[in-house]
Amino acid sequence: MLDLGWAELMVIGIVALIVVGPKDLPGLFRKVGQFVGKARGMAREFSRAMNDAADEAGVKDISKGLKAAANPVQAAAQGVRDTTTKIMDLDPESETGKLAAKRAEDSAKIKAASARAAAERKAKEAEAALKAAEDAEAQLADVQAPKPAETAAQSKDA
């Protein structure tokens, strides 16, 4: 695109202000903005049409081949990733698909059982903590409550 810096844009703005005048300048900038927007849209549409034509001609396949020749390790790694992705899409009616479904079901059962066990363990811990808190409160109440001998001594002094 055009390589314009702030200084060039400032000069263009000042010249436009002098030539067009301050009254019509906003309208001019609006028209220039619309024109630039239309030009970008046309360029985007042209680029998309060229990409579609290249796809139809098989340029993508040639490009992949060139990239594979330039970097064989990365191309091999991508091939492994693609193959792994294809393997994960199993036919549910095949033996492998049935085994994968059974493993997924067993995994879900194990997760549910472990979650239940963890919840029960936490409930027992909460009960034990509550019992300990109640015992501590009871001991505190016993310490703070006056004993009968102390109350008798206090009443004599009064």
82 within some domain:
no
5-61 pLDDT, tens digit each: 889 988 988 998 899 888 988 898 899 899 999 999 999 999 999 888 877 877 777
134-156 pLDDT, tens digit each: 999 988 888 776 665 555 555 55
* Residues 94 and 53 placed together within one structural domain of the fold: no
* Residues 5 and 52 placed together within one structural domain of the fold: yes
* Residues 56 and 93 placed together within one structural domain of the fold: no
Q: Look at residue 96 in the predicted model and tell me its pLDDT.
A: 78
Q: State if pTM tops 0.85.
A: no
- Per-residue pLDDT, averaged over 52-74, amounts to 78
Q: CA 142: distance to chain centroid? A: 56
CA distances from residue 88 to 68, 85, 140 in whole angstroms, order as listed: 24, 5, 63
Instruction: Read off the pLDDT band of 120 (50, 70, 90).
Output: very high
Burial class (CB in 10 A: 0-12, 13-18, 19+), 134: exposed
22 within some domain:
yes
109 within some domain:
yes
56 within some domain:
yes
Range of the domain at 140: 89-145
Residue pair 67/75 in contact (Cβ under 8 Å)? The answer is yes
66 within some domain:
no
* Residues 95 and 51 placed together within one structural domain of the fold: no
70 within some domain:
no
Q: Which amino acid is at 148?
A: P
Based on the structure, what is the number of domains in the chain? 2
123 within some domain:
yes
Q: Look at residue 34 in the predicted model and tell me its pLDDT.
A: 95
